[in-house]
């Protein structure tokens, strides 16, 4: 490196003033050998490098049982066989944290024992003006479910600084995906004209130009014509390999009619061929390949619309035929396929049908719920056809993701660590109260705020509101004659009797703290909405040694619109469907008179339910997580002990399995609405159980994708 005296002087002056160096000095100082480099505002080489434990929320071993199940029967009765071994994974949360935890945590070894991830397909949000709301049906009407603030901000953050922020988002995630891919793995990235130019450069930077395999053009009909040029009727899919040893299974397609006509002769074995006369008079024979021709890099598949069997009502849903070609080409049966923007679960559904293992993740709760229903439907069909299928589990980072808000530097002395943690917890409470628009109070044991005439208790950031916490609140209310209380919590321990808690002479309301509270802008703008915990009522029907569960009531309290404001802004002759105070209301303003009419569409409590399921033997399966040995983790009830029979991932001395104190919901029976069948069964299958007391869990998922679980105890 040779710098002139003037260059040295200029660099020194700029550094002393704390000003950035011009780009020319970056190349002079560091001698970057790359011929072309992608630069964006805020570019950094830093990649998230944390490993958070995954919590198992739910396990689906098999599709629903259609008939009464006896004790001696197994989960494999009837047609179809459930594969054992690997359990497929559907993960809810920020895929940056999920990818980092997969890469750096104990699940990495589990993945590598299965041969690693052979294929990653992603379809990230590439539409800067996209509206990520969902259309939901109520009877014959359809209304729009707005995205949660956290979803909206996450997607808007992707475009907050235009291309710079999109590239920064996708670059870090692609770095993590590259490290997760097996050495023979491939990645397919789906985009359109908005970002295809950027995406090619990002892929070259992350994987290297030599890793490029194909730029695939997906052509289709349908869509919107913008009238500003030629019709935009294609998307782009970039295909890169992890190494030169990438797996690839050739895909053959049928010859065109014109090609077939050229092979106009048939031999004695029925094979088509053509004759070519060379310049010297010799005649050569060329046979037409029976398997067809190699698929080109332009594919013609129609867009999925309402008329298609596979239509799941998801705005960015891609056709299964498109994914079938990709999965067939770049993975083998039994290999792992991953999609970290899985949306409605198309990649997962096709992977299951083709006998692949899979991992899927999405930020949206609605997307996870849509994928859950879709995968159960796939299980049902495979079982009906007598084919094999795999169990799958639903996971998230849950309390461990929230724990990062109060994470304490382990290098501090014990006294400093406690002081730092106390400050962080005070910040957390202050944040929640600000979002709830409550003022801070002290001199109470459980109450930290006051909103008008109601005291406010805030549950812990690190784990669910427990029975004991609710009991402590009620006892303090009795001691100090407190009559009105709001309890705020991220999660609530399963089995809490919310109705019973209100029978002690205290007006106690339970509300859910939304994830949006961690977004400062959402809090400052007053966009955070705290919802009441939904109410579920079930009735056990016991006959001899059998139990049947009947769903008898369900109530929600959502608001996503102001009815009064909507009516004021409506134009004469217009109509809108709004959600306010747990009701979906069709509002219309007459064109001539301006008179506003309201029609409540949610006429029955069942209109709010999209799905419900039953675990007939709750507390049968403990929720175990793998954590570093000797490290205390929030939500873990026992540390320093390895669960009996557990496997050690990431090395014998590194991880141990511990119980979180919670239980996994075993989805043994379910009923849900589909696009074609809007009916919902309200009575479960009959299940024979042993004599004695049993806990049964019922999970209800509403049309917004939010779930509520109720645990009851029966005596048989």
Residue with tokens 């109509």: 575
Domain membership flag for residue 371 = no
pLDDT in tens, 372-391: 999 999 999 999 999 999 99
Asked if residue 73 has pLDDT above 60, the reply is no
Cα 674 to Cα 352, 395, 685: the distances in Å are 19, 23, 19
Asked if residue 43 has pLDDT above 90, the reply is no
Instruction: Give me the pLDDT at residue 75, please.
Output: 42
Contact 708, 700 (CB under 8 A): yes
pLDDT in tens, 665-679: 999 999 999 888 889
Instruction: Report, as an integer, the average pLDDT of 128-139.
Output: 64
Instruction: Report, as an integer, the average pLDDT of 559-577.
Output: 84
Give SS3 for 143: strand
Give SS3 for 28: helix
Instruction: Give me the pLDDT at residue 293, please.
Output: 87
Residues 140 and 241 grouped into a single domain: yes
Instruction: Report, as an integer, the average pLDDT of 336-358.
Output: 97
d(CA 472, CA 167): 49
Cα-Cα-Cα-Cα torsion 24, 30, 35, 38, nearest 10 degrees, comes to: -70
454-458 vs 134-138, strand pairing mode: unpaired
**Number of continuous H segments (helices) and E segments (strands) in the chain:** 17, 36
**CATH number of the domain to which 225 belongs:** 3.40.50.150
Residues 322 and 436 grouped into a single domain: no
Instruction: Give me the pLDDT at residue 226, please.
Output: 62
Residues 463 and 317 grouped into a single domain: no
Which residues does 608 contact at the CB level (< 8 Å), separation at least 6? 554, 555, 556, 582, 602, 702, 703
pLDDT in tens, 243-260: 999 999 999 998 888 888
Instruction: Give me the pLDDT at residue 230, please.
Output: 84
Asked if residue 624 has pLDDT above 80, the reply is yes
Contact 347, 89 (CB under 8 A): no
DSSP 492: B
d(CA 335, CA 358): 8
Domain membership flag for residue 328 = yes
Domain membership flag for residue 220 = yes
Instruction: Give me the pLDDT at residue 164, please.
Output: 79
Instruction: Give me the pLDDT at residue 642, please.
Output: 32
Instruction: Report, as an integer, the average pLDDT of 474-487.
Output: 94
Asked if residue 78 has pLDDT above 60, the reply is no
Instruction: Report, as an integer, the average pLDDT of 52-60.
Output: 89
Contact 401, 363 (CB under 8 A): no
Q: First-to-last CA distance in the chain?
A: 84
Residue ranges of the alpha helices (H) in 454-555?
A: 467-480, 498-501, 520-524
Asked if residue 92 has pLDDT above 60, the reply is yes
What's the sign of the alpha-carbon dihedral 79, 80, 85, 91? negative
pLDDT band at 76 (very low <50, low <70, confident <90, very high): very low
Residues 113 and 175 grouped into a single domain: yes
d(CA 529, CA 312): 28
Instruction: Give me the pLDDT at residue 35, please.
Output: 64
d(CA 692, CA 345): 41
Give SS3 for 423: helix
Lowest mean pLDDT among 203-217, 338-352, 592-606: 592-606
CA gyration radius for the chain?
29
pLDDT band at 457 (very low <50, low <70, confident <90, very high): very high
In sequence order, the β-bridge partners of residue 665 are 58
pLDDT band at 65 (very low <50, low <70, confident <90, very high): low
Between 560 and 369, residue with greater pLDDT: 369
Give SS3 for 302: coil
Residues 14 and 111 grouped into a single domain: no
What's the sign of the alpha-carbon dihedral 378, 556, 552, 537? positive
| Vertex 242 angle, CA 241 and 247, to 5° | 60
If one counts the domains in the chain, the total is 3
Which residues does 632 contact at the CB level (< 8 Å), separation at least 6? 639
Pick the most confident of 268-272, 490-494, 693-697.
693-697
Lowest mean pLDDT among 166-180, 354-368, 573-587: 573-587
pLDDT band at 487 (very low <50, low <70, confident <90, very high): very high
Percentage of the chain lying above the pLDDT 70 cut: 84
Residues 460 and 327 grouped into a single domain: no
Instruction: Give me the pLDDT at residue 103, please.
Output: 95
Residues 347 and 410 grouped into a single domain: no
Cα 120 to Cα 112, 166, 691: the distances in Å are 15, 19, 48
The domain boundary residue, chosen from 476, 499, 533: 533
- Per the document, the length of the chain is 716
The domain boundary residue, chosen from 533, 555, 590: 533
Residues 418 and 345 grouped into a single domain: no
Asked if residue 477 has pLDDT above 50, the reply is yes
Lookup: tokens for 8: 């040295």
Domain membership flag for residue 605 = no
pLDDT band at 70 (very low <50, low <70, confident <90, very high): low
Domain membership flag for residue 241 = yes
Q: Where are the beta strands (DSSP E) in 397-443?
A: 439-440
Residues 409 and 499 grouped into a single domain: yes
What values do phi and psi take at 282, rounded to 5?
-70, 150
Q: How many CB atoms lie within 10 A of CB 472?
A: 14
Residue with tokens 């309301």: 509
Give SS3 for 206: helix
| Vertex 325 angle, CA 319 and 331, to 5° | 125
| Vertex 478 angle, CA 476 and 481, to 5° | 100
Among residues 672, 586, 607, the alpha carbon closest in space to that of 312 is found at 672
Among residues 565, 492, 504, 563, the alpha carbon closest in space to that of 531 is found at 492
Cα-Cα-Cα-Cα torsion 22, 27, 29, 32, nearest 10 degrees, comes to: 140
pLDDT band at 613 (very low <50, low <70, confident <90, very high): very high
Residues 311 and 222 grouped into a single domain: yes
DSSP 643: P
Residues 334 and 215 grouped into a single domain: yes
Segment holding 373, helix H or strand E: helix 365-384
Q: What is the mean pLDDT of the chain?
A: 84
Residues 195 and 320 grouped into a single domain: yes
Domain membership flag for residue 217 = yes
Instruction: Give me the pLDDT at residue 649, please.
Output: 42
pLDDT in tens, 512-537: 887 678 777 778 877 787 888 888 99
Cα 545 to Cα 171, 400, 616, 667, 696: the distances in Å are 58, 40, 13, 21, 14
The domain boundary residue, chosen from 533, 561, 577: 533
Domain membership flag for residue 451 = yes
What values do phi and psi take at 353, rounded to 5?
-65, -30
Instruction: Give me the pLDDT at residue 190, please.
Output: 96
Asked if residue 641 has pLDDT above 50, the reply is no
Range of the domain at 438: 403-533
Domain membership flag for residue 687 = no
pLDDT in tens, 282-309: 889 889 888 888 999 999 999 888 778 8
Q: What single string gives the DSSP state of each residue in 672-709?
A: E--SS------B---EE--SSEEEEEEEEEETTS-EEE
Among residues 619, 550, 613, 607, the alpha carbon closest in space to that of 579 is found at 607
pLDDT in tens, 144-186: 777 665 566 566 656 556 777 888 889 999 999 999 999 999 9
Instruction: Give me the pLDDT at residue 199, please.
Output: 94
């Amino acid at each position: 490196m040779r710098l002139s005296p003037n260059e040295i002087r200029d660099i020194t002056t700029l550094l002393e003033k704390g000003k950035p160096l011009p780009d020319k000095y970056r190349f002079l100082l560091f001698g970057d050998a790359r011929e072309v480099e992608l630069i964006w505002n805020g570019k950094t080489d830093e990649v998230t490098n944390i490993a958070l434990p995954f919590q198992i929320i739910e396990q689906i071993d098999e599709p629903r049982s259609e008939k009464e199940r006896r004790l001696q029967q197994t989960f494999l009765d009837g047609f179809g066989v459930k594969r054992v071994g690997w359990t497929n994974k559907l993960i809810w949360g920020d895929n940056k944290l999920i990818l980092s935890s997969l890469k750096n945590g104990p699940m990495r070894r589990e993945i590598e024992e299965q041969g690693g991830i052979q294929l990653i397909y992603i379809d990230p949000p590439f539409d800067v003006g996209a509206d990520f709301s969902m259309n939901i049906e109520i009877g014959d009407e359809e209304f729009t479910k707005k995205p949660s603030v956290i979803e909206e901000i996450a997607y808007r953050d992707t475009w907050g600084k235009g291309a710079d922020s999109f590239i920064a988002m996708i670059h870090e995630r692609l770095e993590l995906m590259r490290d997760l891919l097996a050495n023979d793995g491939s990645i397919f990235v789906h985009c359109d004209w908005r970002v295809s130019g950027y995406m090619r450069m990002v892929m070259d930077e992350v994987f290297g130009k030599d890793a490029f395999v194909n730029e695939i053009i997906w052509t289709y009909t349908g869509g919107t014509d913008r009238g500003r040029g030629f019709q935009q009727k294609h998307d782009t899919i970039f295909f890169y390999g992890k190494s030169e040893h990438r797996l690839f299974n050739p895909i053959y397609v049928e010859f065109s009619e014109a090609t077939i006509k050229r092979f106009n002769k048939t031999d004695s074995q029925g094979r088509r061929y053509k004759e070519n006369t060379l310049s010297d008079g010799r005649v050569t024979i060329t046979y037409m390949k029976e398997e067809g021709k190699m698929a080109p890099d332009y594919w013609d598949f129609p867009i999925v619309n309402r008329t298609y069997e596979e239509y799941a009502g998801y705005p960015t849903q891609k056709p299964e035929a498109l994914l079938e070609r990709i999965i067939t080409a770049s993975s083998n049966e039994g290999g792992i396929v991953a999609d970290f923007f899985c949306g409605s679960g198309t990649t997962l559904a096709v992977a299951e049908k083709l006998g692949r293992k899979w991992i899927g993740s999405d930020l949206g709760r609605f997307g996870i719920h849509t994928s859950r229903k879709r995968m159960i439907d796939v299980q049902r069909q495979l079982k009906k056809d007598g084919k094999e299928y795999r169990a799958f589990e639903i996971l998230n980072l849950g309390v461990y993701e929230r724990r990062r808000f109060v994470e304490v530097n382990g290098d501090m002395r014990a006294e400093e660590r406690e002081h730092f943690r106390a400050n962080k917890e005070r910040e957390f409470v202050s944040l929640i109260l600000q979002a709830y628009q409550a003022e801070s109070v002290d001199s109470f044991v459980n109450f930290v705020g006051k909103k008008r005439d109601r005291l406010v208790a805030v549950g812990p950031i690190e784990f669910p509101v427990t029975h004991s916490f609710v009991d402590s609140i009620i006892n303090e209310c009795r001691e100090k004659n407190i009559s009105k209380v709001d309890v705020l919590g991220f999660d609530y321990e399963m089995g809490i009797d919310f109705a019973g808690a209100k029978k002690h002479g205290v007006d106690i309301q339970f509300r859910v703290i939304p994830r949006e509270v961690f977004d400062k802008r959402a809090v400052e703008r007053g966009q955070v909405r705290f919802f009441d915990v939904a109410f579920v009522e079930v009735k056990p029907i016991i006959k001899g040694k059998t139990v049947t569960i009947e769903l008898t009531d369900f109530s929600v309290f959502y608001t996503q619109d102001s009815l009064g404001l909507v009516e004021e802004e409506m134009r004469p002759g217009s109509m809108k469907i709004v959600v306010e105070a747990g009701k979906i209301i069709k509002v219309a303003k007459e064109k001539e008179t301006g008179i506003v009419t309201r029609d409540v569409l949610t006429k029955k409590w069942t209109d709010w339910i999209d799905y419900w399921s039953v675990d007939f033997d709750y507390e049968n399966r403990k929720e175990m997580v793998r954590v570093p040995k000797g490290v205390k983790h929030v939500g873990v009830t026992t540390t320093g002990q390895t669960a009996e029979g557990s496997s050690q991932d990431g090395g014998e001395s590194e991880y141990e399995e511990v119980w979180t104190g919670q239980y996994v919901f075993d989805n043994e029976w379910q009923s849900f609405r589909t696009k074609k069948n809007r009916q919902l069964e309200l009575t479960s299958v009959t299940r024979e159980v042993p004599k004695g007391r049993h806990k049964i869990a019922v999970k209800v998922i509403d049309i917004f994708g939010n779930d509520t679980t109720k645990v009851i105890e029966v005596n048989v």
